[in-house]
Chains A and B, each alone.
Chain A
Amino acid sequence: MGAWHSLKIPSIPEKIHDVETSVAEVLEGHDFSEDAIFAVRLALAEALANAIKHGNRQDPDKEVSVKFRIENSSVTISVRDEGEGFDYNNLPDPTAPDRLEIPSGRGVLLMRSYMDHVKYNNKGNEVTIVKGRGVSKCAQ
């Protein structure tokens, strides 16, 4: 089992890119495929945006906690905010014909589409995402 890496960021969207870039660099060092790294960047950016904007409502006094761990063939990342959580089981399907033109509501769909596993805690203020390493182009 790899060790957990932890960090905390203030609730400002400008921090999203810094975090997903840092994680992507670590994944590249562990020979994750380009597709897997793209998927993690996307899902992590969604998780962070949800935590900062919806969870902490960009309150400067609230932080977002991120921790991640690399195991043999996958990465596990948890993102936790200080908000009230949400009912993640009752989200409308943004791909339903009558919802396609609604500008918001696609973040969780993207996380679920690109990650191998997505799990929320009961309160709904912490999401854990897991992605396998994939096949790197060097190995193909």
Chain B
Amino acid sequence: MCPMKPLEIHTEKSEGVTFVTVSGYITASESDTLDSALESLTSEHEKFIIVDLKGLELITSDGLGVLIRAHKAAVEYGGRFVLCGLKGNVLDVFKMTALDKVLDLYDSVDVALNSAPT
């Protein structure tokens, strides 16, 4: 078993889009770090935030809650907050909790980038 990688978050802005790459695992102790990173973006009313979760290995309910809060904040100021790259067991967590009905999920960054607002 490969040990899970600790949480890493990278943010980059380009041509009006904010790209956030999240990898590693998120349990209750890491969710505050993710919350701070996303809250700093939504508090600046970033218009289009794409979160690439391709490298996410585990997410618990606390991490899901952070994503829901960021999504709601963005919608409230008229921005877009989308997730992409989810696969396998981690994608199943979103489906199991029915969050695939609430959050905007895309297969990849490219697909998210070219998507029309829902």
Which listed residue (A14, A24, A103) contacts B65, Cβ 8 A?
A: A103
Q: How far is the CA of A35 from the CA of B27 in the complex (A)?
A: 18
Instruction: Determine if A17 and B27 form an interchain contact, defined as CB atoms under 8 angstroms apart.
Output: yes
Within 8 Å of chain B (Cβ to Cβ): is A72? Answer: no
Within 8 Å of chain B (Cβ to Cβ): is A106? Answer: yes
Which listed residue (B61, B62, B66, B98) contacts A95, Cβ 8 A?
A: B98
For B, the interface residue count at a CB cutoff of 8 angstroms equals: 27
Given contacts A35-B89, A37-B1, contact A49 B62 (CB under 8 A): yes
Instruction: Determine if A107 and B97 form an interchain contact, defined as CB atoms under 8 angstroms apart.
Output: no
Within 8 Å of chain A (Cβ to Cβ): is B45? Answer: no
Q: How far is the CA of A37 from the CA of B60 in the complex (A)?
A: 14
Chain A residue at minimal CB-CB distance from B67: A103
Label chain A's interface by main secondary structure. Answer: helix
For A, the interface residue count at a CB cutoff of 8 angstroms equals: 35
| CB of A113 to closest CB in B, whole Å | 5
Instruction: Determine if B66 and A110 form an interchain contact, defined as CB atoms under 8 angstroms apart.
Output: no
Within 8 Å of chain A (Cβ to Cβ): is B111? Answer: no
Q: How far is the CA of A107 from the CA of B28 in the complex (A)?
A: 11
Given contacts A45-B27, A100-B102, A109-B97, contact A25 B58 (CB under 8 A): no
**Chain B interface residues (CB < 8 Å from chain A):** 1, 3-4, 25, 27-30, 58, 60-62, 64-66, 68-69, 71-72, 89, 93, 96-99, 101-102
Query: A-B pairs with the 9 shortest C-beta distances?
Result: A103-B65, A13-B29, A106-B61, A49-B28, A95-B98, A13-B28, A107-B61, A28-B1, A45-B27
